Amino acid sequence: MWMAKGTAILITGAQPPLLFELALLLFPVGLLGLYARLGGHHGRLRSAGGAVSLVALVAGAIYAGVSAVDPDATGVVPGVAIAGSALGTVVGLVLLGLVTRQTNAFPPPWTRLPLRLGLATPVLLSVVGGMLSEINERLLEVPLVLVAIAWVKLGLLIADPTKEIVSGDATRRPDPSTAAARERGHG
């Protein structure tokens, strides 16, 4: 969603409807996928990341709901919802990234992707995006598209049902029937 939004703005200067709002829902959904992918590893840290991701999802849903009723909505509720979704997504990404770093959930060099993405996103969007927007307002979208590309890679890593996760003494293998169904395109 963000790649399409950012690319459209870079090319046309106009933001397509609904892409920003839907992205606020899909980022936390992706985090909940990462939470599930990590299984029972690192209980409290993983649980905190999952809880924050749920808060981000609820905040994103509130914003999407308000926007569906009034696309030009401004004020406290939309502002708090956007902030809650964005902050929850970044914090959830950092927390789950810390857990991911301690497992072999992803092959090298991708083990640190969630943590690095969580730490880099605020800097890329605010500092780099801010500097680029001084040159041309549309250039604010360049770091946004880069972040979106990293999220696509993260999604592909999360969706890999064949990767075994090892952390300490615990090993969790994917359910073979689920992996086989996905390979056949049924899962």
pLDDT digits 0-9 by tens, 109-159: 899 999 999 999 999 999 999 999 999 999 999 999 999 999 999 999 999
In contact, 99 and 42? CB cutoff 8 Å: yes
Q: Which domain holds residue 126?
A: 2-183
pLDDT beyond 70 at 180: no
Residue 167 pLDDT grade (very low, low, confident, very high; cuts 50, 70, 90): low
The one-letter amino acid code at 91 reads V
For the chain, what is the domain count? 1
For residue 163, the tally of other CB atoms under 10 A from its CB is 17
Q: Which residues fall within 8 angstroms of residue 176, CB to CB, at 6 or more apart?
A: none
Instruction: State percent of the chain over pLDDT 70.
Output: 85
Q: Tell me: the pLDDT tens digits for 18-69?
A: 888 888 889 999 999 999 999 876 789 999 999 999 999 999 999 888 888 8
Name the most confidently modeled range: 20-24, 92-96, 98-102, 163-167.
92-96
